[in-house]
Amino acid sequence: MEREVRFVGQSSAFLDSVERATMAALLDRPVLVIGERGTGKELIAERLHRHSNRWDGPLVTMNCAALPETLIEAELFGHEAGAFTGATRTRAGRFEEADGGTLFLDELATLSMAAQERLLRAVEYGEVARIGSSKALRVDCRIVAATNEHLPDLVEKGRFRADLLDRLSFEVITLPPLRDREGDVMVIADHFGRRMATELGWENWRGWGDRATALLEAHRWPGNVRELRNVVERAVYRWPDPDQPIDAIIFDPFDSPWRPGAPSTTLQRADGAETLVAAPVASPSPDAPCTDLRATVDAYEKRLIEAAFTRARYNQRATASALGLSYDQLRHAMKKHGIAAN
């Protein structure tokens, strides 16, 4: 993971987590990093390594969920040639590779009970044995583990070893989800927006329009920063005028009236003709924070009209019919929301 580790945010909840990671980095003890997907657990692991006394040693990463259960132990501890079918040569495990540095175990909660038992011994005694060998090897690596599960609950359910949890939880850093990082959404959106604009060769960065800002701030961000980055970069590259603030947001790139299984946008009339009807557009969640009701309602109304325009191939009379409006009412709404007639 040779890359610049950069954190973007200004909320106290986020900065407190980063500060705790910086403090824990100086101690040669195991650390657990807890957080939802997309909250930056891997970045925290990198910070723990780069700010530790092991900074010049290897940082080895293993995603425990990416391997079948039968291969996890071989990946962690290595194997001797002939130890099992397909083991044609001796291979060092991740513990050996991380000797003198840090071993980052992502998705820790997916480890089998057998793998947890062997991991416990490695953490307790600093020794590992390759599969197919009775010889123990001394290893010196720091363990940083990450998960999106609440491990004490898994202990209660018998899915995680209590003694392993005790050994790994010297320090626990829990990362806040983006929805609880007050004021950070637009800071991060501006950061990723500027980067994408530079990548596209834009000479200037005009920022975000009022409508886009309202939509970004109202979204719940279940995918956290990773989701926000995708939404922002998609909005920038699709925006047709670099000299104007970006004011169109697409949260779901799969949303299309022609997607498989989508509701039909036409109805068959008795005379055999087809009439365009408006397919539903996702409405704002009533649980989402709303500081400006009028702006939120206007933004939703504009989305409805734009979606109907797309389905009607920008035929204004067909769009008005699909929305249950008169032609004059549609024209008034278009003027209100600044929708071009195309």
CATH of the domain at 210: 1.10.8.60
Q: Are residues 83 and 166 in the same domain?
A: yes
Tell whether the model's pLDDT for residue 276 goes beyond 50: no
Instruction: For residue 275, give the nearest of 264, 284, 286, 287 by alpha carbon.
Output: 264
Q: What is the pLDDT of residues 6-21, one digit of tens each?
A: 789 999 999 999 999 9
Q: Are residues 98 and 149 in the same domain?
A: yes
Q: What is the pLDDT of residues 200-225, one digit of tens each?
A: 999 999 999 999 999 999 999 999 99
Residue 259 lies in a domain: no
Q: Quick count: other Cβ atoms within 10 Å of Cβ 106? A: 20
Paired with 276 in beta bridges are 266
Cα 142 from Cα 28, distance rounded (Å): 7
Q: Are residues 172 and 189 in the same domain?
A: no
Q: Give every CB contact of residue 304 below 8 A, 6+ residues apart in sequence.
A: 278, 281, 323
Share of the chain above pLDDT 90, in %: 56
Residue 248 lies in a domain: no
Q: Are residues 169 and 292 in the same domain?
A: no
Pairing, β 127-129 against β 136-138: antiparallel
Strongest mean pLDDT among 43-52, 124-133, 285-294: 43-52
Q: Which of 151, 176, 201 is the last residue of a domain?
A: 176
Q: Are residues 23 and 70 in the same domain?
A: yes
Q: Are residues 171 and 48 in the same domain?
A: yes
Q: Which helix (H) or strand (E) holds 146?
A: strand 142-147
Cα 76 from Cα 69, distance rounded (Å): 11
Q: What is the pLDDT of residues 135-181, one digit of tens each?
A: 888 999 999 999 999 999 999 999 999 999 999 999 999 999 999 99
Q: Are residues 83 and 189 in the same domain?
A: no
Residue 130 lies in a domain: yes
* Contact call for residues 70 and 115 (beta carbons, < 8 A): no
* Contact call for residues 224 and 178 (beta carbons, < 8 A): yes
How many domains are there within the chain?
3
pTM: 0.73
The whole domain housing 160 covers 12-176
Q: Are residues 130 and 16 in the same domain?
A: yes
